[in-house]
Structure 1
């Protein structure tokens, strides 16, 4: 096979793969963007609290938003570590636990944003804040990392 034929075959393969990917993962018109807040860390495990809000309308004309808490986790240790995380939400009142989880983060790597939990609420102008903290296996909990949204749209 000549060099030109190899290049054309490789280019055709890339175009075909892109087309298959586009068909397999259609774009969502209302896909929510993820916004992350500041970072916190404990024992070389870092976290950023993130939030997304997706607006939708039910059949009765009422607008809702699905709020999802996320965590972006970084392990700067020289070995993989199990990391626990929790997310809480606040919308003008007390903090309410949304969810928690546990995952392994490979050495010197970052994973996420990991969706922790979702909550659906009526669209209003109330600012919704989530906060996330992490704990490496056998370690202490970090401080809180917060993220917020006050808009009722994607």
Structure 2
């Protein structure tokens, strides 16, 4: 199989992952591509739920982390999430946390933090990174959403 064919298969898989909600009780959660640090793989995920405060329509933007431990030993994982408005915004820390992932185990979408924003015709983005004890931080896993789509 050619590199182009492999790339097409991976693109379809990534789009499928972005479209799949992972928690039926929450707003749809879209996850970005995976990144890893050692034996821990991480995905940054985002949801946006529309609401109203008085006369102003708002969007509750929530960042999540999904983690997978592919190693033979349990790992303590630290993670951080940041948020920004894509059109020129700067990154703001939404939250951080720590979790225990058993050997070969997975932690499903865990909320890291959220921000309530007035609706506007802008796109928002989150990024998440993580690390296992004494390991380097992973690269960034990003996910984005239109802030006030219906």
TM range (shorter): 0.7 to 0.9
Give TM-score scaled by structure 1 length: 0.77
Structure 1 stretches of 4+ with a deviation exceeding 6 A read: none
- Which protein is richer in strand relative to its size? 2
Q: Is the 8 A contact 1:127 1:151 kept in 2?
A: yes
CA distance in structure 2 between the aligned counterparts of 1:100 and 1:151, rounded to whole angstroms: 22
Question: Which structure: larger Rg?
Answer: 1
Tell me the SS of whatever aligns to 1:108: coil
The C-alpha deviation readout for 1:39-95, integer Å capped at 9, x for no partner, is 000111000000000001123x21001000000100001011000000001103111
CA distance in structure 2 between the aligned counterparts of 1:41 and 1:128, rounded to whole angstroms: 23
Tell me the SS of whatever aligns to 2:109: strand
Query: Which residue, 72, 75, 85 being the options, matches 2:69?
Result: 75
Tell me the SS of whatever aligns to 2:71: coil
Q: Offset at 1:126?
A: 1.1
CA RMSD of aligned residues (A): 1.5
Tell me the SS of whatever aligns to 1:78: coil
1:58 maps onto 2:63 in alignment: no
Q: Is the 8 A contact 2:59 2:117 kept in 1?
A: yes
Give TM-score scaled by structure 2 length: 0.79
Q: Is the 8 A contact 1:65 1:153 kept in 2?
A: no
Show the counterpart of 2:131. 135
Q: Is the 8 A contact 2:59 2:147 kept in 1?
A: no
CA distance in structure 2 between the aligned counterparts of 1:46 and 1:69, rounded to whole angstroms: 17
List alignment gaps of at least 5 residues for structure 2: 1-23
Q: What is the aligned length?
A: 125
CA distance in structure 2 between the aligned counterparts of 1:88 and 1:73, rounded to whole angstroms: 17
Q: Offset at 1:112?
A: 1.6
Q: Offset at 1:153?
A: 4.0
